[in-house]
Amino acid sequence: MAVSKRKTGKKDKSNNMPVEAKAIEQPITQTLESNYMPYAMSVIVSRAIPEIDGFKPSHRKLLYTMYKMGLLTGQRQKSANIVGRTMQLNPHGDAAIYETMVRLSTGNEALIAPFVDSKGNFGKVYSRDMSYAASRYTEAKLAPICNEIFKDIDKDTVDFTDSYDGTQQEPVLLPTAFPNILVSANSGIAVGMASMICGFNLNEVCEAAINYIKDPEYDLFGSMPAPDFSTGGEIIFDRAEMEEIYRTGKGSFKIRSKWRFIKEHNIIEIYEIPYTTTTDIIIDKISDLCKSGKIKEISDMRDETDLNGLKLAIELKRGTDPDKLMQKLFKLTTLQDVFSCNFNILVAGNPKVMGVKEILDEWTAWRTECLRRMIFSDIAKKNEKLHLLEGLEKILLDIDSAIEIIRNTELEDEVVPNLMMGFGIDETQAEFVANIKLRNINRQYILNRTSEIKLLKDEIEHLKEVLNSNRKIRGLIIDDLKRINKKYVIPRRSDIVYSADIEDEPAEPAVEDYPVYIIFTSEGYIKKLSVPAYRNSTEQKLKEGDSISEVFETSNNNEMIFFTDKTQAYKLRISDLEDSRSANLGQFIPAKLDFDEGEKIIAAFIPGDYSSTLLFVYENGKVSKVPMSSYATKSNRKKLINAYSDKSRLVRIIRLDNDCDIVLFTNDGRALLFNSAMLLSKAGRSSEGVYVLTKKKDRILTDAATSEKSGLSDPYLYKVTRIPSSGQALDPDDNIEKQLSFID
CA 3 from chain centre, in angstroms, equals 36
Question: What does residue 88 show for φ and ψ, rounded to 5 degrees?
Answer: -70, -20
DSSP-derived 3-state class of residue 408: helix
- Spatial neighbors of 37 by CB under 8 A, at least 6 apart, are none
- Spatial neighbors of 498 by CB under 8 A, at least 6 apart, are 236, 237
E-strand stretches of 544-621: 548-555, 559-564, 569-573, 587-588, 601-605, 613-618
String of DSSP letters for 193-252: -EEEE----HHHHHHHHHHHHH-TT--GGGT--S---TT--EEEE-HHHHHHHHHHSEEE
Determine the residue type at 627. P
Report strand pairing: 515-521 vs 548-555. Answer: antiparallel
Taking the CA atoms of 16, 22, 27 and 30 in sequence, report the sign of the dihedral they define. negative
* Cis ω before 179 (30° cut-off from 0): no
How many CA atoms does the CB half-sphere of 370 hold within 13 Å? 29
DSSP-derived 3-state class of residue 189: strand
CA distance linking residue 14 with residue 407, whole number of Å: 87
Report strand pairing: 613-618 vs 622-627. Answer: antiparallel
Q: Which of the residues are catalytic?
A: 137
- Spatial neighbors of 601 by CB under 8 A, at least 6 apart, are 524, 562, 563, 564, 589, 590
CA distance linking residue 235 with residue 226, whole number of Å: 8
CB 270 within 8 A of CB 276: no
DSSP-derived 3-state class of residue 260: strand
Q: What is the 3-class SS of 627-677, one letter each residue?
A: EHHHHCCCCCCCEECCCCCCCCCEEEEEEECCCCEEEEEECCCEEEEEEHH
CA distance linking residue 124 with residue 103, whole number of Å: 9
Report strand pairing: 234-237 vs 495-498. Answer: parallel
